[in-house]
Amino acid sequence: MTNQPNFGRLILRVGISGLMLFHGIPKLMNLLQGNLDFPDPIGLGSTITLILAVLGEAVAPILIIIGLKTRISAVVAAITMAVAAFIVHADDPFGTKEKALLFLVGFVAIALLGAGKFSVDRN
């Protein structure tokens, strides 16, 4: 029974991050293929914004799944979801921004809890 919290962290890490990859991998593929046409909601330019989205939706979730630099990766992913919920979807109905908020809550929980025993970092 002493491993229950660690299994919980593993399930949370793999579940939230695995689902996020469904959003991040297509953006990563666009970036790798040179398709840099991407919205620029915070005024950094389309290319920089796409790179930041790929970091938050593909790179960080992969690191979270394996449990490497989990807390900082979760912060990166959480910031990405905060931008999605409160800037990109600011004027949208709650149902539209709800998915970003759910991911935000999950990544904040991961950042607070850490990766657990079943991770590369083992913390």
Is 123 inside any structural domain?
no
* Radius of gyration in angstroms for the set of CA atoms belonging to the chain, rounded to a whole number: 15
47: number of Cβ within 10 Å? 13
DSSP state of 2: T
Is 56 inside any structural domain?
yes
| % of the chain exceeding 90 in pLDDT | 95
pLDDT at 1 over 80: no
Which tens digit of pLDDT belongs to each residue from 83-96? 999 999 999 999 99
123 — pLDDT class (breaks 50, 70, 90): confident
- The whole-number pLDDT of residue 2 equals 79
- Number of folded domains that form the chain: 1
- The whole-number pLDDT of residue 98 equals 97
User: Do the beta carbons of residue 58 and residue 21 sit within 8 Å?
Assistant: yes
18, 29, 58, 75, 111 from 25: Cα distances, Å: 10, 6, 6, 19, 22
Is 43 inside any structural domain?
yes
User: Do the beta carbons of residue 50 and residue 36 sit within 8 Å?
Assistant: yes
Which tens digit of pLDDT belongs to each residue from 42-52? 999 999 999 99
Which tens digit of pLDDT belongs to each residue from 19-37? 999 999 999 999 999 999 9
Is 18 inside any structural domain?
yes
* Burial degree of 73 (CB within 10 A; 0-12, 13-18, 19+): buried
- The whole-number pLDDT of residue 3 equals 86
Is 120 inside any structural domain?
no
Is 8 inside any structural domain?
yes
Is 121 inside any structural domain?
no
Structural domain range at position 96? 4-113
* Burial degree of 88 (CB within 10 A; 0-12, 13-18, 19+): middle
Which tens digit of pLDDT belongs to each residue from 61-117? 999 999 999 999 999 999 999 999 999 999 999 999 999 999 999 999 999 999 999
